Structure formats: C-alpha cells, structure tokens
A and B are shown apart, each in its own frame.
Chain A
Amino acid sequence: MADDLSTNHSRPYWRIWGVLLMLTVVMIFVDQSPMSRGLLILVLVAAMLTKAFLIGAYFMHLRFETMTLVVTVVVGLLITGALLFVVIAPDGLRALHLSAW
C-alpha cells in the first residue's frame, strides 16, 4: 500500500525511467526499419503496453495497492478498450471497403 512506501528507499524510479526511454528509442528505430506493417504494429503496440504497465505499476504505485483496485482499474479499462475495438473495427473496415468500392 502507498502508506507503506515511506519505508522503502529503493524504489526503482530511475531504472524505470531508463527502461521507458530505451523502449521509446527502440520504437523510433523500429518505426524507421523496413519491417512488414503487421509486425511493425505488433512491436509498437507491445512496447506501448509495456510502457503503460511500467508507468501504472511503478509510478502510479498500482503494484503496491490492493488487488481490488488493480482489477477495477485495469480490467475495466481493458474490457472497455476491447469492446470499443470489437464494435468499431468492423464498421471502420466496412467503411473502407465502401469508400474503395
């Protein structure tokens, strides 16, 4: 819990900062490399989610909060994101086919 954090002097903020910057540089490098579009998106989204996890877990201290809060925040947002994708992606692709047609 956050209240207990005052006793912990070794939280890895600068290490997380380094990892976040490294991931950002990797993303830029990958973005400019001759990679297939599908693989590029996969790598970028994976790096993005890793960065989001690190910020949420360490900077926002979710790692030290109760599981109830973690589940409420993470699962709620994930389900909403998945629902938005499932509902919107087919319509978006259909609109693409219609505009191409």
Chain B
Amino acid sequence: MAYVMEGGQPGGINRPAPFDLSWQKLMMWIFIITDGLLFGGFLAAYGFGRLSVTAWPDQSEVFHIGYITAMTFILISSSVTMARAVEVSQQKDKGKVLFFLLLTIFGGLIFLGMQVYEWSSIIHEGARLNFNPWGVAQFSSYFFIITGFHGTHVLTGVIILVITAIRFKMGKSSEEGVELTGLYWHFVDLVWVFVFTLFYLI
C-alpha cells in the first residue's frame, strides 16, 4: 500500500495515498485518460461529420464486416492472453509470462497485418484522405485518421510488448512492468470496441 506523509514533513502522520497506487501505475492511468480524451475528440468529430451530412456510405458495402469482426476477435483474444500474462507474472511463473506475452505479440501482429490488408484494399479501390469513390469525402478522412491512430497505438503496443518480454526474460522488468504494459494493451482493445461499433456498424 502506498503512503503519503502529511505536509511532507518528517514525523508527520502517514495515511494511505488517495489512489493507493505506485507512481508508475498512476502515471499510466493518467496517460490512458488523456489518450482516451484524444480518441474521444476523434470520435466526437466523426459524430459531427455524420450528423452534418444527409447521406453516409453503407459500411457493409465498403467493408467486409466479417473481416472486421475477425480483427475484433483477434484483438479481444490478445487481451485475454495479456491478462493471463499479468496474472502469471504475479505468480512469479517466468516461463508462462513469456509464453503469454509472445501470444499477445502474435495477436497484435496479426491484427496489424489485417489492418494493412484492409487499408491497401480501400486505397486500391480509390480512397484517399480527402476523397473516395463512395460520395462523401469525409468518410475516408475519418476512416484513415481514426483507424490509423488506433493502428499506430497497436504498433506501439507491440513494440512495448517486445521490450517488456525481453526485459522480463533478462530479469530487468518486474511484474509491475508487465501489468503496466497490460493496462496499455487493454486500453488499445477498449478503443477498438468504440471504433468498431461507431465507425463500422452504426
């Protein structure tokens, strides 16, 4: 349990810190909140774009929803393997931690590969950042910006996972390091839940 000293003075009264977290974990939560606000801004802008035009392309004609669902399946599954990595790290099971971290990295790479394929298909059909063949210019702008930012987060997450796995194997990363990486990875999954619903389905 983390404690603070009242008034910062030696001899002061010790009491539990408000969040009862290490500063590293608190900083990760603050980062997640601010990053959540970034995506909140993107999705709000997208909502404005949707409300301000009379027509919007039918997503099921532009995207293969089954393919997007498979991407969702991969990301959700990688979140479970990440959660398991965090769990076994607290049980000090080094081999299992590396196993689940590698599974999570694998899931992230599959997701990224699928996104690259989706992007290349859409670009091949003539979509660009400022125009597309489906009539509403904003459609492809929102698509590239929102999924692009999310994809960048996934890529960053994979890099962080690789670094965490290497450091954990070398004994340089604690179980808290794995937990912080997990928080970030679950956040990436959480954002996808919103993107999948608001952009691909509604």
Interface residues of A (CB under 8 A from B): 1-3, 5-6, 11, 13-14, 16-17, 20-21, 24-25, 27-28, 31-32, 40-41, 44-45, 47-48, 51-52, 55-56, 58-60, 65-66, 68-69, 72-73, 76-77, 80-81, 84-85, 88-89, 91-93, 95-96, 99-100
* Residue B5, interface by CB 8 Å: no
A27 CB contact (under 8 Å) in B49, B52, B76, B201: B201
Interchain CA distance A82-B48 in the complex, whole Å: 14
B13-21, B117-125, B143-151: which one contacts chain A? B13-21
Asked if B186 contacts A31 (CB within 8 A), the reply is no
Known: A69-B19, A99-B53. A81 touches B193 (CB 8 A): no
Known: A60-B183, A84-B41, A84-B44. A52 touches B73 (CB 8 A): no
Size of B's binding interface in residues, CB under 8 A? 51
A90 nearest in chain B by CB position? B51
* Residue B141, interface by CB 8 Å: no
B90 nearest in chain A by CB position? A6
Q: Interface residues of A: mostly helix, strand, loop or mixed?
A: helix
B79-87, B153-161, B166-174: which one contacts chain A? B79-87
Contacts of B19 in A (CB 8 A): 65-66, 68-69, 72
Asked if A55 contacts B190 (CB within 8 A), the reply is yes
Known: A2-B179, A5-B87, A60-B187. A51 touches B193 (CB 8 A): yes
Known: A17-B80, A24-B73. A11 touches B87 (CB 8 A): yes
